[in-house]
């Protein structure tokens, strides 16, 4: 008898996010980065880029994390989610305190 498929199995982006979470639990952050990059490419939305940035920071790739956060900031501003955009701008300032653009958007 077949198990009913959960919505995560039907949605490839959710499946990739679950895979990334599994890799993080197994202490395999580099594999999690690959899964999250693919998920962000398939669904380029703010939360996808924030997740990717978080894991990139864990791996020690601050420059790539900064770029992912900037992409998230763009997505949130484009979707008119100003509160989330301000939060992401503050995260950018933690990585790069000299970023003038993030400083204006965090205020």
User: CATH number of 11-106: 2.40.40.20, 1.10.10.10, 1.20.1730.10, 1.25.40.10?
Assistant: 1.25.40.10
| More confident call, 94 vs 7 | 94
What are the angstrom distances between the C-alpha of 92 and each of 13, 65, 70? 25, 9, 7
At 105 the pLDDT is 86
At 104 the pLDDT is 86
Q: Map out the domains of the chain as residue ranges.
A: 11-106
Model confidence over 64-87: pLDDT tens digits? 999 999 999 999 999 999 999 999
Give how far the C-alpha of residue 45 lies from the chain's centroid of Cα atoms, to the nearest Å: 8
């Amino acid at each position: 008898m077949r198990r009913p498929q959960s919505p995560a199995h039907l949605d490839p982006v959710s499946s990739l996010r679950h895979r990334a979470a599994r890799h993080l639990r197994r202490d395999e952050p580099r594999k999690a980065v690959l899964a999250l990059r693919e998920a962000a490419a398939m669904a380029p939305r703010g939360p996808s880029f924030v997740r990717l940035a978080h894991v990139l920071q864990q791996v020690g790739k601050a420059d790539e994390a900064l770029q992912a956060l900037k992409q998230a900031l763009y997505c949130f501003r484009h979707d008119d989610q100003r509160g989330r955009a301000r939060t992401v701008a503050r995260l950018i300032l933690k990585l790069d305190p000299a970023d003038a653009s993030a400083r204006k958007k965090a205020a």
